[in-house]
Structure 1
């Protein structure tokens, strides 16, 4: 019995990846490009070494892989030597790597999308050009990590079928070309490490006939290469009939499955593989595992398999979606386990399987599980109110329907060093709450004056008082633990800090009213105030799965309903209820499951804004590849304006054309995460394309919040957006 994991957080114990990459990008030290790259590589090698040492101390196999210098998918594209036409390069360099990720000059970066129902954003591959294949130094650099490992090693890489299915352009000839490149890379990797892990999370979705044929074609080909010890990892799903039919005839060294939910077909898989890796630890949540349940499941599965098969124990998916360790937290609930603690759990489960339940490890876990189940069991009293049929709001507020092409922002503006310093001083107790609030109010006023000066139609306060759109609300709700250093990789070099929902939820006091009053007092222009929606707060927090997400979401919806009612009393005429996580929270497969989710998710949203008559309700959904079934239910939201990411605006227009939505449409006119500043002409041409194809009232805005940007990066794009709006109104006239 061997222990391993599918992946480990790569951000470093103190967000070292963020600090390293930002130093490289901002060029704080004026040195030549080559020296900057050497410094970047040295600092990242320290992060890799720490990851290897952590795994070596507890696990039998150490997992390394395509390192996310900015994104793991982009790193894989560099391995393969594949670039879009606008990114063609004769040779690899880290400067070029980050140009592709963030844009440069007139060259747009690759688009971003959500990674299979998680909050991680990956770069969407583009296949409009295939450069000459070469194994560049980036692959050699990641393979160099093997020197830090004393035991057996495993290299993880995103599988070719997943890579191809998440790409923007799909062509059979391109697919076959990429397959050949993959095989060359696998041969290179196999000469350095003991095993290769190929991740195929695309199997968690429903595949069409073409995708199935591509899957069978590739894996039958590499199955004939005998010296490759390849373990295919399937996660985010149970072993279904589709998965069994796909993998039963291929010949690989091993396969990884999520053993927590898989019941059928597991025993039959043992006939085709030398080893089976069982995902027995939940890699997506921060709660401790139930050793009794896990031990019983392992014994049951082992009894169904042939005796000669090797059994590996692992996490259900990569641990990159949870924080690193609870050791840096001051207040810790005993039932919490982050990535390092999950590794320790695997070690303990192996010990129980080999030596029995009689030692103190098993008993201690049993007591903690009983305590968790009995602690403050969530008793929901809002379910009946949320479940009742909600009538469509009386949206008579016609102010915004007199004209078209209104301009606004998603809500947030750059969080400067000054704001972060104020927040730190307040946290350390060096300044009082009044001093902090007065300082933030002055910064808000400057932000409002800037918005007025460039001519935005709808003003926000820039969310200067908020450290994070979810964490800010969680700090004001009892029953939620806000961690000190529980960072999780979100996109690029950015991290988020999910909160932990552990008990009954209630609002301690008004969350946003004081700031809404302040915004109203400093401007005569129309204002919009932002509330984070119930689905997003639920999804971007770690909630207790032994209770159920519907009950927890009901309580969140009730709290937000109270907050919205208070905003209504203050006569705020525009309220934005953000739901960027609506798509990522839905099930990955199964039409019935998807529809069941949307029914209660839409009900939660509508419950929050029920009764907001004569008020314009906005909502925001970003970086999700929407499908017809998504738009069908999104159209049932009681909102007046739907703001969506418009990077791939042709797909957005096609969806809106096929599915009529009785809302205003806020189009993300430019990529807020890119360093590229689109001209007025580019924005206007995109706007005219959209105008000719849909009849909705159109709003103009960036495609996401501006919190992570610098002020100098947002001024020109916003000015150009306002100019494009005025030109469009003139053309319409």
Structure 2
């Protein structure tokens, strides 16, 4: 029996990679210093795997930004706008593709399946040429070999998944016509990889999706061609994850592969079909790579023994692994010094999950790990019995939910008349999504308060000063609906999690969201309840400083659910409704405080969508109801906004309309307003602000560029319903570029008002 992992976190235990990359962008360190940081992290991951006695050492899972972008670089799939001499190095081209430059828009970014990780979307066009452009994987293999590591197992994004995740730049162009030249480059790469390893892991997670017959046929054709040219000493481990492959089982059985990885956490149904793959090496994903709860090792051992006996599987052809890459969980629980010992005992981060694999193998090989297993069982039992998980009256609150609580008092048309009368906004009202730049001074203030070096009064005075500055800047810019800038918030989910019962936070539980953006997902360990108001003081203070409406800013229940590590002992729907009830109370309090506009963000709504389409309706029904439960307790006069970003929303637009938010702002700039196509077919009933510039890029859009995008929007959105806003919050940006961009945005809106008044 063998052990391995599908991938490890690559940000560094103290976010060393983030800090180094951002220092490189600012010119504070050299390329050589950045590359040394990357090498150090890779070495740490190699030694961790060696320490765990893994049979195969994973290589190639490291990335400076994103693994899909890495593959675009490897294949030479570099958009023409970045094929210039203006970039200094291959690394600069790489970062330009991810972030954009003043002269070239960044590539589109969207969610990696149903996770909060974002990937850079490949771009495909007719006549595109591919070439083996980057030797990144070879460099990392040589590096590992020269450091004395053996049994290396490189990882590649599979060719079908890579092509599936990309987008044709011409809607009339069939990207699948590029499969043959892409496969040719893959073969060239695999031949170069061949001398360094026996096993090669090729990730094809799209095999868990509902695939058309055309793609299934291409899978068989592509892998037969790969196998034909692959040296005989190499074996392919095809990796799937995040769901089961049962819809495509026959296709997988037809592939000339040597090993198959199955996610048995999210794809438990596959247990009944393992015998069909008994002539293949099976990698069993039995440790959860998506959540932080300690594994029930005794149960897993029983399950494995049952699998081996009932399915007549050969133990020598079994690999034990994580369900997916450990990219999605924090690095090491030992860095958590302030978590209560009870809660901490229930958890397992990436390093601990590796240790769980090690223990399972030892147990199956007959080594005495009885004491470890006994302690593990005690922990599992203590969590099940703990009173920390339960709030006495929460089930009563859930039982009292009725259909009226999901509905606003009146229709949108009636509400809109009252809201227009009160708010008195101009045509094409301008606003921002919520946050303004989180300056070093703001971060330092929060840190000093957290350490106790600022008392509460001093802290509040400083935060109010930041709010004063933000309000003044919005006045000067001429925005129509203001925000308070969120200087008190470290993160849009963690901030609320820290104020709700049933949540706990970590000190160093960082997880990569995209590029250098890292988040610390809070942990839902029990029932949710709001002990006291969470935002009222800051929002009402901001509103007292201006006659313009200031938005109350909240995070919605589905985003709180998806961007947290969630308890696994009750249905996600129940947790979502508990969150919705807590947010509903906050919304009502904001209204009582005379806040006229309240934004409840749900960027994760699409992310939470099941990967199997036959499960969509069930999820969307309760997810939309959770949002409506949170937002429907207000009067007609209160305008409810929501915000969504960095997912493909086109296929659920009818469900988004059912949310019945008065105004929705939605990311559209990176995809060149591609979202607007859906409004040609679907008459969205309420108001909408398609994001008209990309806040994840340092470039400043021109007035003309913004105006052109708004004109595009006006072709499908009535002028009375069109809002003007960036595509997301501005916390990651610097003030100079933020002010320049917003100034141009306001100018473009004013020009349109003159034209369409």
Q: Same fold (TM over 0.5)?
A: yes
- Larger displacement relative to structure 2 (562-571 or 709-718): 709-718
Maintained 8 Å contact 2:688/2:723:
yes
1:330-349 to 2 correspondences below 5 Å: 330=337, 331=339, 332=341, 333=343, 334-349=345-360
Q: CA deviation at 1:252?
A: 1.1
Aligned to 1:495: 518
The answer to whether structure 1 residue 192 and structure 2 residue 196 are counterparts is yes
Aligned to 2:155: 156
Aligned to 2:293: 287
1:284-683 to 2 correspondences below 5 Å: 284-303=290-309, 304-307=311-314, 310-330=317-337, 331=339, 332=341, 333=343, 334-355=345-366, 359-376=370-387, 377-378=389-390, 380-389=395-404, 390-394=406-410, 395=415, 396-399=418-421, 403-591=426-614, 593-613=615-635, 614-628=637-651, 630-647=652-669, 648-683=671-706
The answer to whether structure 1 residue 250 and structure 2 residue 265 are counterparts is no
Q: CA deviation at 1:154?
A: 0.9
| 3-state secondary structure, aligned to 1:542 | coil
Aligned to 2:33: 39
Give the Cα separation in 2 of the matches to 1:358 and 1:96.
50
Give the Cα separation in 2 of the matches to 1:208 and 1:435.
61
Aligned to 1:236: 242
Maintained 8 Å contact 1:268/1:305:
no
Q: CA deviation at 1:137?
A: 4.2
Q: TM-score, normalised by structure 1?
A: 0.95
Give the Cα separation in 2 of the matches to 1:624 and 1:296.
39
Give the Cα separation in 1 of the matches to 2:638 and 2:712.
30
Maintained 8 Å contact 2:130/2:182:
no
Cα distance, 1:179–1:393 mapped onto 2, change above 3 Å:
farther
Give the Cα separation in 2 of the matches to 1:537 and 1:189.
42
Maintained 8 Å contact 1:276/1:311:
yes
The answer to whether structure 1 residue 101 and structure 2 residue 106 are counterparts is no
The answer to whether structure 1 residue 265 and structure 2 residue 273 are counterparts is yes
| 3-state secondary structure, aligned to 2:12 | coil
Give the Cα separation in 2 of the matches to 1:52 and 1:480.
34
Maintained 8 Å contact 1:321/1:489:
yes
1:710-725 to 2 correspondences below 5 Å: 710-725=734-749
Maintained 8 Å contact 1:81/1:130:
no
Aligned to 1:2: 2
Aligned to 2:226: 222
Give the Cα separation in 1 of the matches to 2:308 and 2:436.
54
Aligned to 1:32: none
Aligned to 2:111: 114
Cα distance, 1:650–1:22 mapped onto 2, change above 3 Å:
closer
The answer to whether structure 1 residue 729 and structure 2 residue 729 are counterparts is no
Figure out how many residues of one structure are paired with residues of the other and give that number.
722
Give deviations 1:465-509, integer Å, cap 9, x for gaps: 111101111111122111000000010111000011112222232
| Of 693, 698, 719, the match for 2:722 | 698
Aligned to 1:23: 23
| 3-state secondary structure, aligned to 1:437 | helix
Q: TM-score, normalised by structure 2?
A: 0.92
| 3-state secondary structure, aligned to 2:665 | strand
Give the Cα separation in 2 of the matches to 1:727 and 1:212.
51
Give the Cα separation in 2 of the matches to 1:118 and 1:636.
24
Give deviations 1:219-277, integer Å, cap 9, x for gaps: 1212333333110101001231x221111111112110012312332110123x2x110
Give the Cα separation in 2 of the matches to 1:214 and 1:519.
57
Maintained 8 Å contact 1:239/1:266:
no
Give deviations 1:516-561, integer Å, cap 9, x for gaps: 1101111111211111001111111111112221222222111111
Maintained 8 Å contact 1:278/1:312:
yes
- Larger displacement relative to structure 2 (138-147 or 634-643): 138-147
Give the Cα separation in 1 of the matches to 2:490 and 2:199.
42
Maintained 8 Å contact 1:183/1:222:
yes
Q: CA deviation at 1:356?
A: 7.2
Give the Cα separation in 2 of the matches to 1:297 and 1:626.
39
Give the Cα separation in 2 of the matches to 1:401 and 1:269.
66
| 3-state secondary structure, aligned to 1:161 | helix
| Of 69, 92, 95, the match for 1:74 | 69
Give the Cα separation in 1 of the matches to 2:536 and 2:701.
36
Give the Cα separation in 2 of the matches to 1:228 and 1:711.
53
Q: CA deviation at 1:401?
A: 8.0
Cα distance, 1:655–1:441 mapped onto 2, change above 3 Å:
same
| 3-state secondary structure, aligned to 1:582 | coil
- Larger displacement relative to structure 2 (440-449 or 242-251): 242-251
Structure 2, unmatched stretches of 5+, are: 169-173
Q: CA deviation at 1:135?
A: 4.3
Q: CA deviation at 1:4?
A: 0.6
Q: CA deviation at 1:149?
A: 5.1
Q: CA deviation at 1:299?
A: 1.7
Q: CA deviation at 1:301?
A: 2.2
Give the Cα separation in 1 of the matches to 2:95 and 2:400.
49
Runs of 4+ in 1 over 6 A off after TM superposition: none
Cα distance, 1:507–1:149 mapped onto 2, change above 3 Å:
farther
Maintained 8 Å contact 1:71/1:491:
yes
| 3-state secondary structure, aligned to 1:182 | helix
Give the Cα separation in 1 of the matches to 2:590 and 2:374.
51
Maintained 8 Å contact 1:223/1:250:
no
Structure 1, unmatched stretches of 5+, are: 30-35
Q: CA deviation at 1:74?
A: 0.9
Give the Cα separation in 2 of the matches to 1:533 and 1:384.
21
Q: CA deviation at 1:723?
A: 0.8
Give deviations 1:364-423, integer Å, cap 9, x for gaps: 211111111111344633323445343334323124686431110000001000011111
Maintained 8 Å contact 2:598/2:640:
yes
| 3-state secondary structure, aligned to 2:448 | helix
- Aligned alpha-carbon RMSD (Å): 1.8
Maintained 8 Å contact 2:98/2:120:
yes
| 3-state secondary structure, aligned to 1:13 | coil
Maintained 8 Å contact 2:56/2:153:
yes
Maintained 8 Å contact 2:198/2:233:
no
Give the Cα separation in 2 of the matches to 1:181 and 1:339.
33
Cα distance, 1:481–1:420 mapped onto 2, change above 3 Å:
same
Give the Cα separation in 2 of the matches to 1:318 and 1:358.
26
